[in-house]
A and B are shown apart, each in its own frame.
Chain A
Amino acid sequence: MENSATYLMYIPLFPLLGAVIIGLMHVFTCKRPIFEKFYGIIACIGPILSFVLALRVFFNLKGMPEEGRYLIQKAFTWFQVGDLDVAMGFLADPLSSLMLLFVTFIGSLIHIYSIGYMGGEKNYAKFFAYLNLFLGSMLVLVLGDSPVVMFVGWEGVGLCSYLLISFYTTETENVIAGNKAFIVNRIGDLGFVLGMSFLFWAIGAHGFDYMALKANAHHLAPGVALTVCLLLFVGATGKSAQIPLYVWLPDAMAGPTPVSALIHAATMVTAGVYMVARFSFIYAHVPVAGSIVAWVGILTALLAAIFGMFQDDIKKVLAYSTVSQLGYMFAGVGVAAYSAGIFHVFTHAFFKALLFLGAGAVIYAMHHQQNIWKMGGLKKKMPITYYTMVIGALALAGCPFFSGFFSKDEILFMALANGHWGIWLVGVAVAGMTAYYTFRMIFVVFHGEPRDQHAYDHAHEAPLVMTLPLIILAVGALFAGYLNLPAIFGGDQEVTHWLAPVVVEHHPHVSKFVELLAMCASIVAFIIGIRLAWQRFGKGAEEPTFSGFTEFAYHKFYVDELYDSVFVQPYKRIGGAIRNAIEPNVTDAPIKLVSQLYMMVGQAFKVFQVGFVRVYAIYMIVGLSVMSLILSFSLN
């Protein structure tokens, strides 16, 4: 078969093998570390090999005719019960190959960066084992040819996320952040599993891989389709940190910074968007579900942007920014602009990974200080970090001709073109807020005077192994947008055309005027945002105090506290009540009753057991006379 490719399974297999090898070596040598230096290098081999294979996949696909552009490998039958037939299968089509390319590329870069950042750490090897395991799982997620195989990667990345968030396990709060991420993700996974189940019973009997599902999607009853879409979206809100399950992502910043860059910005958290695009053959036919997705997305974008404006931890600013950008992506796929949403996933991976790695370099230089109000004036000390981060910030803020501008604008334009005025309006407002909080961070950290002179004196530029990935990513953040240049700039929308065979979308014809209007609005929002940030923080500023609404926003609307008192505490209290009240008193009652009944019967008979022979003689006489009476009656 011309579409079969036996090398697909090696793409996830290389990093997974790396994880097993490093993991075993770590376990056996952690008491007496040897080869400590080499683990980082071994760990880079897998991702780089996968990247090479991803390139091969891409060029293979490119050489194929557009309508038959996919590669498939069914490695073996995973399990088959009744009508359910799941193969351990991998599917490379334009959508997954695009994901493959940037996941392996950015993954490799972050592995290299980590050699520098994690150097000298106690659990150096363990870190790389987890990182490789993560990348392998992510590639399974991307390549899985059925929802079930995708779910393997889906939960695998969740596990690695947990392991890496709580990487510094001696601190209780890190472990709690990890637990929170795992449990909140599991709430989403419940939606995923149920969505899969409903989908299977509706149309899965004739094959449960994406090809078969897509072919049978028209048999879905509208009600079932809506149920499936919403349940799957619950899964997406967990993994991609959307309302109401976004709460784990800011806490996830407890992990090492390369982890935040790779897992919690560039790759894993975008899995939900990828999943919606994957299932576009269902979502496209259920506009209600799409609207819900889009509104949840854009409201999350708004909420997270509000929180982002008041954070004082550099990584938390970026974390809320990620939540906010993910909201944009969902707005994109929600208004059926799947290629725009995926394109934003792609550009965001570059500039957000860049910003996180830059922030990592700053934190590294400041000896693990993360509070931006303890920094300042670092521009002189760390020029490479500064300039690359500014490029990332401009891309994030949507400065014209940077990558984020093209991808975000495409989403907002498509929302407008498809008639979602409300989403467009909120989106433009969020664009302004994005510019504001991004440059607030840049100005406070790099401009003005040092706020902590001692730390400033010891700060220094990061080593080459860390700055090189920054530079490469900065190039990506600058130019990635040109891959999907819209017609108005003389481009050809390459990415949109590339994805066209996979995602089900239609392109409305709108006048140039609307397109220009949409673009101008975004640019105005960007200028207002950056100008406000410059006025307040451009030339040095003191740590602000909050009151009223700003204090409310600083405390993130007390959502964490609300969840804690509504869900966590009652849950624990019910557990305690079962243990202390229900188990001993209610469910044990029957058995206690039985034993008490025995005692009572015994007590009752004890009365007759007096121990005098004469009393027993009376019993005998009474018994015998009763018996003879009965006998005489019955004989008559």
Chain B
Amino acid sequence: MFEHTLSLMIFLPIAAGLILLLTPAGKGIARVTGIAISMAALILGVDVFTKFKPVGELQFTEFIPWFPHVGINYSLGVDGISLFILLAASVLLPLVFLLFTTKEKGYYANLLIVQGAMAGAVCAADIILFYIFWEIMLLPVFFMLGLYGGEKKIAATLKITIYTIAGSLLMLAAIIYLGVAYHSQFGEWNFAISKLTQLDLNGGVATLAFIGFMIAFAIKIPLFPFHTWLPDAYTEAPTATTFVLSAIMAKIGVYAVIRMVVPVFDEDFARFALLLSLSGVFGMMYCGIAAIAQNDIKRMFAFSSASHMGIIALGVFTCNVQGLTGSVYQIIAHATSTGVLFLFAGIIEDRMQTRKIEALGGIAYHAPVFALYFAIALLASVGLPGTSGFIGEFLIILGAVKFSPFIGILAGTTLIIGVCYMLWMFQRVFFEKDNELTVTFKDLTLKEGICFLPVVLLIIVMGLYPQPFIEKIEPAAQIQLAHLADTQHVQVADSVNAQDHGHLLELNK
């Protein structure tokens, strides 16, 4: 549509958010601005998606020299992996602006800034630019959680702050190390991600940098045992913030691993893949089992979300194209299922003034449309074939079996663990007998029904006809994995050489 579509997607929301904050605009204006800007971003996002060609390279690239003497540039682009997070962010955010209205001006402004910064983080092709957007993206979350959160918002904010700041520091140190390493190997400064992948990194310091990166992203995803900020933050944050955190921001952690850690630290990644995949699969099981004991519906979804993120991360660690493609597919599937479930939990909370599972019951009799929507999102979340959740989950399990049959079997238990807590919750919230509280439950209004309809349809369309999405992901996944394959070939070649060398030694004797 325009030459600078990506820049527009980034800076339109950020600028609007800042203007709202700095001018004495009222709540009404803020909301209208939010709707308008997010709609514009939606149109731009769909435009990018339809014009995107199924090849692996970066597209819609933009390049403006920024600090050329130290190799830092304003450079953007999307590939098949970032495309889906960009799409999720632009498709889902209008929902939030349209449906959740009772908050203050600053809330809308912060949401807009988050939206722009998230787009920036996934489009950045320069690692410094990525870091800047990453930090901008986190700030509004602190405000939204700390200002507009629930009862224990201060504790939750403190927790998420400590974790994220620690992660950011480690990442910054690792980025600086990468720049220095590039300078020493190639004699010039450059922070373009595509250039950094050419680095030949080995040795203890490189591994430390790898660990730094991984911890930063493991906190964001979150991977076990870095998940403890999540239940508190997701539970205490206002609905829209939880939605943004779970549906999109957590995915940026996975994206960063795919885009930066896999190609740049290929050797270390291959070496640590088993450990990382164990962490993913154990986190899935641990959080899934923890979910069954929760009696707050939102907190249950928080654990459920963490459980799914373990599986999504696992797909990346399987180091094969099925697993990686499955992960990227699951990123958007999870956004439309668990993400939307958080919105539904918000609707229940708005209407019932409680999130306690045992206080609810029989909602299905009074709100059949809501129950239907909820059930479809729930079934996608447990990976039922015919919904978007199945494709990704199946590909990840398939990839995990290839990676290690043992991990594959453990990963498969997600099929069982998911239904246990979900069905039991659905039973106690939607079925059984209604009570004097739930008889007053009003079904979705026409507006709500229409707003959620595209998402619910997307769940089914992505389950029945995923190929148009998959064909955009796969080439990019192949490119990311090509680095790993090279590494493994080199390792094999090295060991062959070593053997030859050994033979030579024997001959010499």
Contact = CB atoms under 8 A, between A and B. Distances in A.
Contact of A595 (B162, B293, B467): B162
Contact of A179 (B391, B424, B465): B424
Given A80-B467, A179-B423, A571-B292, A193 B394 contact: yes
The interface centre, meaning the residue of A82, A148, A152, A175 with most chain B CB atoms within 10 A of its CB, is: A82
B412 interface: yes
Interface in B97-137: none
B466 interface: yes
Contacts of B471: 80
Determine the interface band of chain B, counting residues with CB < 8 A from chain A.
Answer: 35 or more
Interface in B388-407: 390-391, 394-395, 397-398, 401-402, 405
Contact of A579 (B293, B379, B385, B412): B293
Contact of B227 (A79, A178, A193, A587): A587
Contact of B419 (A26, A76, A183): A183
Contacts of A197: 397-398, 401-402, 408
Interface string A163-206: 00010011010011011001100110110011011101100000
A210 interface: no
A151 interface: yes
Nearest to A153: B385
Contacts of B326: 81
A271 B233 CA distance: 45
Given A169-B431, A170-B433, A183-B420, A81 B395 contact: yes
Interface residues of A, number: 55
Nearest to A187: B416
B434 to A, nearest CB: 8
Given A27-B368, A77-B467, A170-B362, A194 B408 contact: yes
The interface centre, meaning the residue of A81, A178, A179, A183 with most chain B CB atoms within 10 A of its CB, is: A81
A203 B380 CA distance: 29
Given A76-B467, A79-B391, A30 B292 contact: no
Interface string A579-592: 11001000110010
A514 interface: no
Contacts of A162: 423
Contact of B289 (A179, A183, A575): A575
A576 interface: yes
Contacts of B413: 190
Contacts of B420: 183, 571
A190 B227 contact: no
A84 interface: yes
A591 B466 contact: no
B325 A156 contact: no
Interface in B409-453: 409, 412-413, 415-416, 419-420, 423-424, 427, 430-433
24 contacts: A27-B369, A76-B467, A79-B466, A82-B322, A88-B464, A151-B385, A155-B384, A155-B390, A156-B385, A169-B364, A172-B432, A176-B427, A179-B423, A179-B424, A183-B416, A197-B397, A201-B398, A574-B289, A575-B291, A578-B293, A579-B294, A580-B293, A583-B290, A587-B227
Interface of A: 26-27, 30, 76-82, 84, 88, 148, 151-152, 154-156, 159, 162, 166, 169-170, 172, 175-176, 178-179, 182-183, 186-187, 189-190, 193-194, 196-198, 200-201, 571-572, 574-576, 578-580, 583, 587-588, 591, 594-595
Lowest 6 A-B CB distances belong to which pairs? Answer: A575-B293, A197-B401, A169-B431, A152-B385, A578-B290, A579-B293
